[in-house]
Amino acid sequence: MHEFTFKNNELYCETIRVGDIAKRIPTPFYLYSYKTLLDHYRKIRRAFSSIKPLICFSVKSNSNLAVLKALVKNGAGLDIVSGGELYRARLVGASPEKIVYAGVGKKADEIGNAIKFGILFFNVESEEELEEIQRIAHSMKKRVRVGLRINPDVIPKTHDYIVTGKGESKFGLDFETAHKIFNSKRRFPNLDICGVHIHIGSQILTSEPFENAIKKVLSFLNKERIPVKYFNIGGGLGIVYSLENPQTAKSFAKKVLPMLKKSRLKIILEPGRFISGNSGVLVTKVIYTKRTPRKKFIIVDSGMNDLLRPSLYEAYHKIVPVKLAENSSDTSERLDVVGPICETGDFLGKDRFLPQLNRGDLLAVMGAGAYGFTMSSNYNSRPRAAEVMVIGKGFHVVRRHENYRDLTRGEVIPRVLR
Ligand code: LLP
């Protein structure tokens, strides 16, 4: 459920007409609903309330400071994957003891800063990384908590690019290596190897792959008598983009809670998309309509630089007109909604059926709150979109549009070229 709904043929975000926001904010812009964000966070918290897990919102899905602040203020922790995300976490006042840090390529300065800040633990993805954290912890005279990210080799049904828990993916440690590390703890005197972590993929619609992965890890811990305190079960819960019928937080919890309770471990969850995905839309404007002998195109003012998911994963995002004409119904004409970028792969939607559209009409690309702005770029030297959040009765620009100066910030023409 989300708070982007039609009333009298007009799209609203909570109680505010999206068309009214677009009168004040030039398109394209991302529009977030605070209420939806919080609702989704609370849904997952409620579903797992019997074990009081730590819920670390996955910053990579939406790292806007207002989004992070809203969640942190309401008790969320954060799952980070870079020094930049740590910087954001600090800016919103996140408690260090609610931060977990994953990623296969953590660099020394990033590790050092996270140790200094006192994060809960690192999710370690290789032996060399473990050695590096040991080296840095030793030089800082600190004892540092780490969890081992295990690649449980399960096959979740999702897009190949977002599977992470299959044996051949770059993430995590195989059971054998993890076992070896647990058996050689003495090699890491400054590390408290107190947790295990899994994250098997993203946009996973059923609970079986999670159940399988959790089962595998718990039986590994039992069999090898490995004493840990934390079990971070990652993120990955799928959401509705079109006709998907994903598990709810409640049904997911029902399936995995018995095992988790029995383990008596402190559980951590890292949902990203589940919280932010349907909390945001991308609002864009029709610049031109164009007909070729083969096809009809609606050319809009945002493209793959703003929302990469359709181009990269052929992801489906529903596209709706912000205002429907009286008695409007979809025409029988198949059309592509495309951006202004000079790439054939620059589309937001292919083979769609939409009502009659004209220049200047507004469209909303739904389900764009996760991996939308965070994956955007300046390709074709296009300034990045603004981000706006509806909170209660008002809306707030939570990131202004970039301008041309932003585009060239940091660039220098060397004297020899002048
Ligand atoms: N934890 C870890 C260690 C992760 O790598 C991720 C996502 C998450 C949690 C959150 O996953 P979520 O709950 O959002 O599924 N760009 C892709 C998704 C990539 C996900 C990367 N890792 C997309 O647009 O579909």
Residues 270-285: pLDDT tens digits? 999 999 999 999 999 9
Asked whether 41 lines ligand 1 (CB < 6 A), one says no
pLDDT, averaged across the chain: 96
Distance from C-alpha of 2 to C-alpha of 127, rounded to nearest angstrom: 42
Q: What is the phi-psi region of residue 289: left when phi exceeds 0, alpha when psi lies from -120 to 50, beta otherwise? A: beta
* Residue 118, φ and ψ in degrees, nearest 5: 85, 40
Give the atom of ligand 1 at the shortest distance from the alpha carbon of 270.
9
Residue 129 and residue 147 in contact, taking contact as beta carbons nearer than 8 Å: no
**Percentage of the chain surpassing pLDDT 70?**
100
Q: Comparing 161 with 153, which gets the higher pLDDT? A: 153
Domain boundaries, the chain: 4-31+277-408, 34-274
Contact 332, 352 (CB under 8 A): no
Whole-model pTM: value is 0.97
pLDDT at 158 over 80: no
Question: 301-331 pLDDT, tens per residue?
Answer: 999 999 999 999 999 999 999 999 887 788 8
CA–CA separation, 323 vs 331, rounded Å?
15
What pLDDT does residue 316 have? Answer: 98
**61: Cβ below 6 Å to ligand 1?**
yes
**Which atom of ligand 1 has the smallest separation from the CA of 236?**
15
Centre of ligand 1 from the C-alpha of residue 189, in Å = 32
Residue 128: both structure tokens together: 């060399």
In this prediction, residues 175-187 reach a mean pLDDT of 95
Give the CA count within 13 Å in the CB-facing half-sphere of 199: 30
Within 8 A by CB and 6+ apart from 305, the residues are 339, 341, 376, 377, 378, 379, 380, 382, 384
Q: How many angstroms separate the CA atoms of 389 and 176, rounded?
A: 47
* Residue 86, helix vs strand vs coil: helix
pLDDT of residue 313: 96
Distance of CA 163 from the midpoint of ligand 1 (Å): 9
Give 241's pLDDT tier (boundaries 50, 70, 90).
Answer: very high
Ligand 1 centroid to Cα of residue 200, in Å, is 9
Residue 202 beta carbon below 6 angstroms from any ligand 1 atom = yes
Q: Residue 271: CB within 6 Å of ligand 1?
A: yes
Which one of 3.20.20.140, 3.40.50.300, 2.40.37.10, 3.40.50.970 gives the CATH number of domain 4-31+277-408? Answer: 2.40.37.10
CA of 70 to the centre of ligand 1 (A): 20
The CATH class for the domain spanning 34-274 reads alpha beta
Is 56 an active-site residue?
no
